A = this chain, B = another copy of it.
Amino acid sequence: MRSAAISAIRAFASSSRISGSPVIARHLHASAGSKKIVGVFYKANEYAAMNPNFLGSAEGALGIREWLESQGHQYIVTDDKEGPNCELEKHIPDLHVLISTPFHPAYVTAERIKKAKNLQLLLTAGVGSDHIDLKAAAAAGLTVVEVTGSNVVSVAEDELMRILILVRNFLPGHHQVINGEWNVAGIAYRAYDLEGKTVGTVGAGRIGRLLLQRLKPFNCNLLYHDRLKMDPELENQTGAKFEEDLDSMLPKCDIVVINTPLTEKTRALFNKDRIAKMKKGVLIVNNARAAIMDTQAVVDACSSGRIGGYSGDVWHPQPAPKDHPWRYMPNQAMTPHISGTTIDAQLRYAAGVKDMLDRYFKGEQFPLQNYIVKEGKIASQYQ
């Protein structure tokens, strides 16, 4: 059993300024002894007992309760995260660490950060920390970390599934089956091969690259838009061509996949005007973040046929309300936010969270690639 946490005092760069507000120094490893750790996860209910590896649920609680409590830490887990009277809100004033996920996001607003006087560490179990007000977190001197890489394979595989579901017009076929119908024509008139089509990814970071690698044997025309050109070896390996200008790439694509984080630059990037520049009938896959799309513009374009199909697992907000229009638009192949929370991904991000908590207790640095906010600075992909 690991011994009690070792403390280490590291002052954050209190002199730096983010967005004009002074960074209030908080001390990540300010004190030894008991920490209050709060985890916000989706509830599994009757599904909790169905899989011993279901660690990402509130019941599974990342499998770290015994380990935390044996070291004298307090571990509160809840799925109740919204409104002034929710369980999360009760613990905001005195928690030290908040563990949250993109699948059931605990929205960490500037207001909550202000209230959280003891808060030092915001840990995203998974990838994607836009549910946290990163500027406010940076200004407050908090550390924000993700388990970088923990579910990139999961998401890339899921994207390829969604591409095929749209290209093949799978869902109308399945719905015929369960409705007792049989009408091959009603599916086939807009079912295509993926082979020979042009697929463009907006963003070619970890997930985008894994997607391109998996697309390679499908003999498509692969394009990517990113801030940076890939290294030539990876470009050769995938055969993908760099497109510096997004608006030049989009009209070439039969299929567009969104693989960019949500930032102020990408918010509503796909508005009515940009969608109008795309091929008529374009298929869009978005497992990145919903707010990269203008919600109503997507509904209108799916209704008019300008977008031929839209599939993804990200919504704004989450959980998606019953009346979210994407639930009811034509040619959608949506799911709740699941692509990054496969059982395999849960095992990886649970291990990653445990490792970082261990480092936190010991006053050690985190793996460099995991930092989203460090010493008042926001990671480049979120700028």
Once A165-B161, A174-B333, A336-B177 are accepted as A-B contacts, the answer to whether A185 and B342 lie under 8 Å apart by CB is no
CB neighbours (8 Å) of A326 from chain B are 177
- A276: Cβ under 8 A from any B Cβ: no
- Of the residues B56, B184, B322, contact of A188 by C-beta under 8 Å: B56
Question: Which residues on the B side are within 8 Å of A164 (C-beta)?
Answer: 157-158, 160-161, 164
Interface residues in A266-288 by Cβ distance below 8 A to B read none
Chain B minimum-CB-distance residue to A45: B185
A182 at the interface (CB under 8 A from B): yes
In the complex, whether A351 has a CB less than 8 A from a CB of chain B is no
Kindly state the separation between the CA atoms of A178 and B161 in the bound complex, as whole angstroms: 19
Assess the B344–A193 pair: CB atoms within 8 A.
yes
Spot the interface stretch: A66-74, A117-125, A140-148, A209-217: A209-217
CA distance A56 to B57 in the complex (A): 48
| Total residues of chain A contacting the partner, CB 8 A | 73
Instruction: Determine if A319 is an interface residue (Cβ-Cβ < 8 Å).
Output: yes
A12 at the interface (CB under 8 A from B): no
Given A51-B190, A103-B188, 11 other A-B residues pairs in contact with their CB atoms under 8 A:
A48-B185, A50-B189, A54-B185, A103-B184, A160-B164, A177-B332, A178-B327, A182-B336, A184-B336, A192-B344, A213-B217
Please indicate the chain B residues that have their CB under 8 angstroms from the CB of A335 in the complex.
Answer: 170, 173-174, 176-177, 187
Docked Cα-Cα span, A336 to B164, in Å, equals 16
Measured in the bound complex, the distance between the Cα atoms of B182 and A346 in whole Å is 19
The reply to whether B341 and A188 form a contact with Cβ atoms under 8 Å apart is yes
Nearest chain-B residue to A104 (Cβ)? B184
Interface presence of A320 (CB below 8 A):
yes
In the complex, A228 has a CB within 8 A of chain B? no
Q: Is the CB of B188 within 8 A of A54?
A: yes
Choice from B44, B103, B192 contacting A189 with Cβ under 8 Å: B44
Contacts of A158 in B (CB 8 A): 164, 168
| B334, A174: Cβ atoms closer than 8 Å | yes
Chain B contacts of A327 at CB under 8 A?
177-178, 180
Using Cβ atoms and an 8 Å threshold, which residues of chain B touch A346?
A: 188
Q: Which of B47, B153, B180, B182 contacts A186 (CB 8 A)?
A: B47
- Closest B-chain residue to A184, C-beta based? B42
Among A178, A180, A191, A319: residue with most chain B CB under 10 A: A191
Across-interface contacts of A260 in B (CB, < 8 A): none
**Top 7 A-B pairs ranked by shortest CB distance?**
A173-B335, A161-B164, A182-B319, A44-B185, A193-B344, A47-B189, A180-B322
Task: Check if A171 is an interface residue, CB within 8 A of chain B.
Answer: yes
CB distance from A114 to the nearest CB of B (A): 29
> A331 at the A/B interface (Cβ < 8 Å)?
no
